[in-house]
Structure 1
Amino acid sequence: MTYYHYDEAKRKASKSSGGFDSFHNALFEDAEGWAKRFSSYICSCIPCVMNPHAKVVQLWNKFFVISCLVAVFVDPLFFFLLGVQWDNKCIVLNGTMTTTIVVFRCVTDFMYILHILLQFRLAYIAPESSVVGAGDLVDNPKEIALNYLQGYFFIDLFIAIPLPQIMILSILPQFKGSSAAYYAKTHLSAAVFVQFIPRLYRILTMRGGQSSTGFIIESGWAYFNMNLLAYMLSSHVIGSCWYLFELQRVNQCLRDGCHPVDMCNFMDCGHGDEFHNFSSNMTRWNLWKNNINAANCFSRDGFDYGIYLKAVNLTTKDSIVTGYVYSLFWGFQQISTLAGNQAPSYFIREVLFTILALLLFGLLIGNMQDFLQALGRRRLVKPLRNRDVELWMRHRRLLEELQRRVRQAERYNWAATRGIDGEVMLENLPEDLQRDIRHHLFEFMKKVRIFKLLDVLILDTIYEKLRHKTYIQGSKILSRDGLVKRMTFIMHGKMLSEGEDGVVGLGGGDVCCGEELLAWCLGNSSPNKDGKRIRVPGQRLHSNRTVKCLTNVEAFALEATDLEEVTRLFARFLRNPQVQGAIRYVSPYWRSFAATGIQVAWRYRKKCITRDTNSRSLRSTK
């Protein structure tokens, strides 16, 4: 190859290489851009942290509980998929209804998976902050995920696993012959029951409000419907178990009849259309269909069925609706009569089932009555309270804006106190127990710098005087030039204090207002001749700041009259310079007062310096 040919080939190779590189870069950049767009789309689909008290979350919780109730009702229906073909003396699986029930169960499982994903973006109330009041919401995604993983995550994950679907679609088709019917009843019933109990437990925890997603029934009709639903669910489960156990007894009778003649392979009919498997041995199949022992299984005196006698012919019905409705009626009948009209056979498992049913029925009815009566009184308090508030507002013809604020305040006050008056409960307890409980409830108060320096005796006196207060977002606690009536300590929430010197943000553990009352009370009292302190009449204290709530706030307040009593009893200790310094350190009032004093001193100093400079300049000119 000559030099010119080599140079030309090199230029062609470089051109082809450059084209490949440009194609590779374009393809790589497109793939990278597509990946970025896809990741941004996925991130946009992931919701941010949500408040469990938000209306959307509450609606989802109720919708989710309804889907769980549907799943609880669907699970026992798997038992009715099995039946008996009287003509062929075999156990059959209803294929059409199997598909329908599997679809329903898949939908409820999908809803449960969505609920699990929601829990990783649902804020929760920190247990340590809910000792007093509504508590603080934790909105850190990592802490939320860790809290859920340590809580109900594994239970929810186990509930969401489609065990019945796996059993029906994957495992049961592997069993052929006489063993298929046996495995269908035992394994399918075990798969249903092993998920039924945890699912029912989770429904009860959410219904009772024991979780962050729990909801409270606020309507009398809803409360009645839930009780009726619980009664129907009990009858539904009992009737379904009765049908399943009867099917097992029929299966046992057929097995007893097939063993002597070695025809047990004809007991399984599959989905009812697999008789071609028996065509190779038609003679023995016809003998089995006309077998006297197998036919006696469907007569009244052919087998001792005990409490399952009425369900013998029920298992042979082609209509699942007929079998389910009669089983539901049987469940209602047993709950209503406490199974007192049943006479079991000598079969041990049947006797144990009857004994267990009697115990559970009595325990269920007794506990349900006690629980529902106690729970009913608690749940009716809020609807009645809301009704009284609405009637009062309508009677007073309040404006819509005022009515909205009243409803918001009522909702927050209920969330903070759960409708329980803690002061009334404490009054009925011994004094030493009251003191210990107050020390436990007000443990957070020791974070306030003032209380770190106070004696236990003074703290006990202050704790007795503290009163719980709730303020909604936007409330104005203190106005400029308004009377200072109380000393307020923030427990949860955020406030804003506005004064001449600027704006100060306040949070949990701060004294939001009224701290100047302490100095005012100490300054407006003087010692008597006998050493006691007497009150010196004077003008009330006015505020120079405006305090507003940025969020819903829970606080404890010490009224001016109670503070006067505390200062009268412990004036000597409260005059301690360290205590006075702590009060002034956390006080926006005293900070403003100190800033004003510093400004006055600085201006005076600056004025003196200017005057001295001017005097020196005059002397020098002379």
Structure 2
Amino acid sequence: MEQGFGYFLFDPLFFFLLNAREDLKCIVINWPMTATLVLFRSLNDAIYFLNILLQFRLAYVSPESTVVGAGDLVDHPKKIALHYLWGYFLLDLFIVIPLPQIMLYFIIPTYLGFSGANYAKNLLRAAILAQYMPRLFRFLPLLIGQSPTGFIFESAWGNFIINLLIFMLSGHVVGSCWYLFGLQRVNQCFRNACSNSTLPGCKNYIDCGLSTDTPIEWHNNENATNCLNSSSGVFEYGIYANAVRLTTETNVVKKYVYALFWGFQQISTLAGNQTPSYFVWEVLFTMAIIGLGLLLFALLIGNIQNFLQGLGRRRLEMQLRGRDVEQWMSHRRLPEGLRRRVRQAERYNWAATRGVNEEILLENMPEDLQRDVRRHLFKFITKVRIFALMDEPILDAICERLRQKIYIKGSNILYQGGLVEKMVFVVRGKLESIGEDGTKINLAEGDACGEELLRWYLENSSVSTDGRKVRLPGQRLPSSRTVTCITNVEAFSLRAADLEEVTIIFTRFLRSPRVQGALRYESPYWRSLAASRIQVAWRYRKKRLNRAASQLD
């Protein structure tokens, strides 16, 4: 794709190699700029040639297999080579031939200073345009976002930028062709002035050649002088009137920028401000600009509309959901303070999920893909020491039961005296855990709360006759701490029923000393509980020692 873009960028610049000399009334070639363009064009040809060699080893999707299925990848070297030889090989070989370089350095210098130079220059322009069409055929499918295996630009931003790039390249080509055709009309005006003069061999003077030794009579020829003045009326330039003075500009940057501006302007306005002359090729060029402008506007405006709709669709969904929530709160007559909290929760929930229901999205995927996606989404649970010790089957069972939860600032996930009904893993945000004795623990990303529920299910259960674990009925775990959200929190929760099911299935593993040690000694909850009990035991021992010492005294 890079070499295709190089061709689109450099080839039209060859048109700016020619310009008119106002003092000599002739057409001249800018040789310093020629050397630069030939160098870049040769490098681009070399890269494209390497791309041709790569095609002989690049696997392809069999067209026959795409009819009945997703397509089989053919990687046999002989089949790849034959497929490319019978495909685009000849076209790519024609594209890579350095025709402009050959014309500039081997053919045009032979005719400089003679009347045949005009035909040689026409041949140069024809060679550039002849190679431009197959490049357009090869490059445009990639530019519009397609490849042999499907679309490669699937995002709204990607399509938007690609369409802008097409618009810019079109303006670049149209402006360059406008300058070239304008120079052609100036050349034709010089030829008409020569025909109307009595100066013998004046057609040889139209081309400056390698020498500037031309008769003074041609320099002062009134008709030739008026050819460089579009308002003189000596020649009808039509849409090329502004290009006449541009052909005498020696500053290549100014010349190119104005031509680029003209190309953008005409494509944008569909050449509505131009009135061509009766010259047939000028009329056809104007019609081509109008057709190209209509095509680009149909593509660009359509893609911009899709792009804006893609950006605004979620916003519209959010507005509609917000309206539904407002109507529900009004119907239920919620107090204003509660309404503010509901609005805040809705805004944060939408910001975190973008309105996508992950559970439904995952349910529509194949089971193995669901497992791999969940492993990626829930890999944070291995930061919890308890789960870092678990094998993949247990982690998969836990990840399958995790549910996304959103909490706003000030919400209580657990409160003292309430039932622990879930185990929560923090993905984003900060929480504060306050124990019965006032001990505070800060929780952040990667931490968990409610992990005491797992140990409680392991300890408060019995074994049935068939060896299955059964929780004793009527037992629920009360919370001994309050967990409050310091900021908005995004988390995943494991419900008590799901956690109980996991403990029943994997009881043997969960009862291993290593996991029990992690449960008891690595959990922030158990560490704080152990610290508080150690403090209580230390105070009790200190009081007992003081009492014993006082009795001895």
CA positional deviation for 1:286 = 1.1
SS at match of 1:345: coil
Pair 1:407–1:88, CA change in 2 (3 A): farther
CA positional deviation for 1:214 = 6.8
Residue in 1 aligned with 2:235? 303
1:221 counterpart (141, 157, 165):
157
2:205 counterpart (257, 266, 269):
266
Residue in 2 aligned with 1:327? 259
Q: Measure, in 1, the Cα distance between the counterparts of 2:139 and 2:36.
A: 24
1:131 counterpart (52, 62, 67):
67
Q: Measure, in 2, the Cα distance between the counterparts of 1:378 and 1:136.
A: 33
Matching of residue 353 in structure 1 with residue 285 in structure 2? yes
Matches within 5 A, 1:351-500: 351-367=283-299, 369-370=301-302, 405-406=372-373
Q: Measure, in 1, the Cα distance between the counterparts of 2:72 and 2:91.
A: 26
Matching of residue 100 in structure 1 with residue 32 in structure 2? no
CA contact (8 A) 1:235 1:332 kept: yes
Q: Measure, in 2, the Cα distance between the counterparts of 1:315 and 1:92.
A: 10
Residue in 1 aligned with 2:82? 146
SS at match of 1:164: helix
Matching of residue 162 in structure 1 with residue 92 in structure 2? no
1:561-608 deviation per Cα after TM superposition (whole angstroms, max 9, x unaligned): xxxxxxxxxxxxxxxxxxxxxxxxxxxxxxxxxxxxxxxxxxxxxxxx
Q: Measure, in 1, the Cα distance between the counterparts of 2:61 and 2:116.
A: 50
Q: Measure, in 2, the Cα distance between the counterparts of 1:378 and 1:144.
A: 39
Percentage of identical aligned residues: 54
Pair 1:76–1:379, CA change in 2 (3 A): farther
Q: Measure, in 2, the Cα distance between the counterparts of 1:404 and 1:100.
A: 57
One-letter amino acid of the counterpart of residue 274, structure 1? S
Q: Measure, in 2, the Cα distance between the counterparts of 1:103 and 1:408.
A: 53
Q: Measure, in 1, the Cα distance between the counterparts of 2:312 and 2:94.
A: 35
Residue in 1 aligned with 2:52? 116
1:230 counterpart (123, 142, 166):
166
One-letter amino acid of the counterpart of residue 66, structure 1? E
CA contact (8 A) 2:156 2:310 kept: no
One-letter amino acid of the counterpart of residue 229, structure 1? L
Residue in 2 aligned with 1:344? 276
Q: Measure, in 2, the Cα distance between the counterparts of 1:332 and 1:320.
A: 18
Q: Measure, in 2, the Cα distance between the counterparts of 1:202 and 1:337.
A: 28
Q: Measure, in 2, the Cα distance between the counterparts of 1:67 and 1:183.
A: 30
One-letter amino acid of the counterpart of residue 166, structure 1? I
SS at match of 1:91: strand
Q: Measure, in 1, the Cα distance between the counterparts of 2:370 and 2:49.
A: 40
Q: Measure, in 1, the Cα distance between the counterparts of 2:77 and 2:307.
A: 34
Q: Measure, in 2, the Cα distance between the counterparts of 1:142 and 1:407.
A: 42
CA contact (8 A) 1:126 1:135 kept: yes
CA contact (8 A) 1:242 1:327 kept: yes
SS at match of 1:366: helix
1:85 counterpart (21, 24, 34):
21
Pair 1:154–1:115, CA change in 2 (3 A): same
Q: Measure, in 1, the Cα distance between the counterparts of 2:144 and 2:310.
A: 11
Q: Measure, in 2, the Cα distance between the counterparts of 1:345 and 1:209.
A: 39
Q: Measure, in 1, the Cα distance between the counterparts of 2:143 and 2:371.
A: 27
Pair 1:363–1:289, CA change in 2 (3 A): same
Moved more, 115-124 or 209-218: 209-218
Pair 1:205–1:139, CA change in 2 (3 A): same
Residue in 1 aligned with 2:220? 290
SS at match of 2:27: strand
Pair 1:296–1:349, CA change in 2 (3 A): same
CA positional deviation for 1:119 = 0.8
CA positional deviation for 1:84 = 0.5
Pair 1:153–1:329, CA change in 2 (3 A): same
CA positional deviation for 1:353 = 2.3
Residue in 2 aligned with 1:60? none
What is the count of residue pairs matched by the alignment?
329
Q: Measure, in 1, the Cα distance between the counterparts of 2:57 and 2:356.
A: 35
Matching of residue 256 in structure 1 with residue 192 in structure 2? yes
One-letter amino acid of the counterpart of residue 5, structure 2? L
How large is the RMSD of aligned CA atoms in angstroms? Answer: 3.6
Gaps of 5+ in 2: 314-352, 363-367, 377-391, 394-553
Pair 1:136–1:148, CA change in 2 (3 A): same
CA positional deviation for 1:116 = 0.8
1:35-67 deviation per Cα after TM superposition (whole angstroms, max 9, x unaligned): xxxxxxxxxxxxxxxxxxxxxxxxxxxxxx122
1:486-531 deviation per Cα after TM superposition (whole angstroms, max 9, x unaligned): xxxxxxxxxxxxxxxxxxxxxxxxxxxxxxxxxxxxxxxxxxxxxx
Residue in 1 aligned with 2:474? none
CA contact (8 A) 2:146 2:152 kept: no
One-letter amino acid of the counterpart of residue 219, structure 2? K
Matches within 5 A, 1:529-540: none
SS at match of 1:346: coil
CA contact (8 A) 1:208 1:216 kept: no
Q: Measure, in 2, the Cα distance between the counterparts of 1:105 and 1:378.
A: 39
Q: Measure, in 2, the Cα distance between the counterparts of 1:184 and 1:366.
A: 39
Pair 1:353–1:212, CA change in 2 (3 A): closer
One-letter amino acid of the counterpart of residue 152, structure 2? I
CA contact (8 A) 2:156 2:306 kept: no
CA positional deviation for 1:213 = 7.2
Gaps of 5+ in 1: 1-64, 382-386, 410-474, 477-622
Q: Measure, in 1, the Cα distance between the counterparts of 2:37 and 2:357.
A: 48
CA positional deviation for 1:224 = 2.4
One-letter amino acid of the counterpart of residue 176, structure 1? L
Pair 1:373–1:67, CA change in 2 (3 A): farther
One-letter amino acid of the counterpart of residue 211, structure 2? E
1:376-424 deviation per Cα after TM superposition (whole angstroms, max 9, x unaligned): 999999xxxxx9799959x99xxxx999943999xxxxxxxxxxxxxxx
Q: Measure, in 2, the Cα distance between the counterparts of 1:335 and 1:253.
A: 27
CA contact (8 A) 1:91 1:181 kept: no
CA positional deviation for 1:198 = 1.1
Pair 1:80–1:213, CA change in 2 (3 A): farther
Q: Measure, in 2, the Cα distance between the counterparts of 1:346 and 1:136.
A: 56
CA positional deviation for 1:167 = 1.2
SS at match of 1:269: coil
**TM-score, with normalisation over the residues of structure 2?**
0.54
Q: Measure, in 1, the Cα distance between the counterparts of 2:355 and 2:44.
A: 39
Residue in 2 aligned with 1:190? 126
SS at match of 2:112: coil
Q: Measure, in 2, the Cα distance between the counterparts of 1:378 and 1:199.
A: 32
